[in-house]
């Protein structure tokens, strides 16, 4: 519903995007949508088994996976800083899951954490490919070319579960917020400005997300991180920033 509403609103707000769709932009948009959909699905399902704070921190590991994806696709090997940061983040992830708190909510390594880890890899693929695709297409058109396939991919979920709806002011407001703010607005901004920077600098900005999510989870959901989890989260942030800030080599020539 989120992406279907977003696609409809986007078509009304930007009718030129519909008229200017081409096979090339749809092809690239569909692949971007696949990476994005996988990331969203893995993150959403993972949230059933882990906490919002842990989910945000693990998703932040996309900043470490992004250089690795660049190496696979563009043959740019990771630097020493990248390798050191990966080791730091792995240790941070282990501490963040607080293996000694297996009986507490969200404590211990669980399938939600693992699903979210694959979500981070999928989002890393999305960021790198968006960097490539955004150089060839108008951002208004490319944004629409991502939202529509994403909606279609999500409708395939009807074959994987029994659809049910429990309309309420909260559920409707959440879907509308996600459609407008977290899909149309952020989707356009990401697509518009990605080509003016680099994937590694982009994920530096994204690495702030777990911090805000942890604060929001504490304020709105009453979630609390143990001292061990806080230490792990801190190590993840250190690893995320290290792989970006210590590496002074330019991402593009």
Separation of alpha carbons 25 and 240, rounded Å:
32
Looking at every residue in the chain, the average pLDDT score rounds to: 84
Q: Residues 129, 35: contact at Cβ < 8 Å?
A: yes
Q: Residues 58, 128: contact at Cβ < 8 Å?
A: no
Q: Residues 6, 147: contact at Cβ < 8 Å?
A: yes
Q: In the prediction, which pLDDT does 233 show?
A: 79
The token pair that represents 119 in the structure block: 């979500």
State the average pLDDT over residues 21-45: 95
Closest CA to 97 of 252, 192, 235: 235
Give the tens place of pLDDT for each residue, 114-160: 999 999 999 999 999 998 899 899 999 999 999 999 999 999 988 88
State the average pLDDT over residues 228-236: 81
Closest CA to 153 of 45, 30, 46: 30
Give the tens place of pLDDT for each residue, 152-208: 999 998 888 888 888 899 999 999 999 999 999 999 999 998 888 778 777 777 776
Q: In the prediction, which pLDDT does 253 show?
A: 40
């Amino acid at each position: 519903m989120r992406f279907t509403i977003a696609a409809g609103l986007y078509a009304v707000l930007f009718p030129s995007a519909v008229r200017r769709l081409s096979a090339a932009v749809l092809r690239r948009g569909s692949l971007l949508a696949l990476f994005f959909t996988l990331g969203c699905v893995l993150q959403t399902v993972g949230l059933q088994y882990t906490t919002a704070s842990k989910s945000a921190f693990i998703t932040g590991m996309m900043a470490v996976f992004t250089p690795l994806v660049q190496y696979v696709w563009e043959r740019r090997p990771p630097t020493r800083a990248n390798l050191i940061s990966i080791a730091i983040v792995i240790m941070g992830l282990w501490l963040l899951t607080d293996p000694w708190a297996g009986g507490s909510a969200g404590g211990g390594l669980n399938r939600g954490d693992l699903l979210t880890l694959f979500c981070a890899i999928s989002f890393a693929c999305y960021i790198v490919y968006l960097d490539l695709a955004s150089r060839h297409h108008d951002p208004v058109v490319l944004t629409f070319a991502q939202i529509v396939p994403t909606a279609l991919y999500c409708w395939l979920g009807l074959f994987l579960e029994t659809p049910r709806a429990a309309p309420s002011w909260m559920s409707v407001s959440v879907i509308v917020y996600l459609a407008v703010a977290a899909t149309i607005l952020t989707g356009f901004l990401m697509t518009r400005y990605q080509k003016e920077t680099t994937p590694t600098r982009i994920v530096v900005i994204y690495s702030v997300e777990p911090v805000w999510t942890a604060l929001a989870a504490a304020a709105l959901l009453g979630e609390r991180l143990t001292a061990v989890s806080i230490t792990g989260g801190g190590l993840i942030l250190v690893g995320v920033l290290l792989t970006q800030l210590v590496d002074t080599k330019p991402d593009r020539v």
